[in-house]
Structure 1
Amino acid sequence: MSDSEYTKIYYGNFILVTRIKDALENSDIIPIIKDEGESQRLAGYASLNQGYQEVFVHNDELEKATTIVERIKAEMESTSS
């Protein structure tokens, strides 16, 4: 079991992560965006995950943030049909 105060709520490409980040911030939730591909590039290593990022939120905001992410995912699925 992890002792982290943050939980990953989404993993995806830069465009979708940006949309989720904006929606979270509009709801007064400050997400943490982790970009392993960029970190590896800066360290001089090749990355297979270039352009993909992870979104984390504080556990106190997890329920509200998960609802927002699910809403955005549903919107994206309805527009791609």
Structure 2
Amino acid sequence: MSESNYIKIYTGDFIMVQRIISDLEKIDISAIVKEENQSGLDPKIYGGQMLQEIYVHRDELDKAVLIVEEITSELKD
């Protein structure tokens, strides 16, 4: 198995993922978004929650994690 240069930094709903992606783009980090649904069924037909995962390149990991921590800590307050 080959090692990927991309690391998952966040899993969450569409709204949070879009917020994080927006802030990452402001500091010139291009992230990859992968969609996962919890049930394996189409959520448009069967309901359920669609989760998205954000991946960033290893070289940008430190800066990206700071953005995620900042956004998630704002929601806890």
Normalised by the size of structure 2, how large is the TM-score?
0.82
Q: Could you tell me how far 1:47 is from its partner in structure 2? A: 4.9
Normalising by structure 1, what TM-score?
Answer: 0.78
Q: Which moved more, 1:1-10 or 1:47-56?
A: 47-56
Distance 2:11 2:2 in 1: 19
What SS does structure 1 have at the residue aligned with 2:75? helix
Query: Which deviations, in whole Å up to 9, do the C-alpha atoms of 1:58-77 show, x marking residues without a partner?
Result: 00000000011000001111
Say what the alpha-carbon RMSD is for the aligned residues. Answer: 2.3
Structure 1 unaligned regions, length at least 5: 38-44
In the comparison of the two structures, how many residue pairs are matched?
A: 72
By how many angstroms is 1:51 displaced? Answer: 2.0
Identity of aligned residues (%): 49
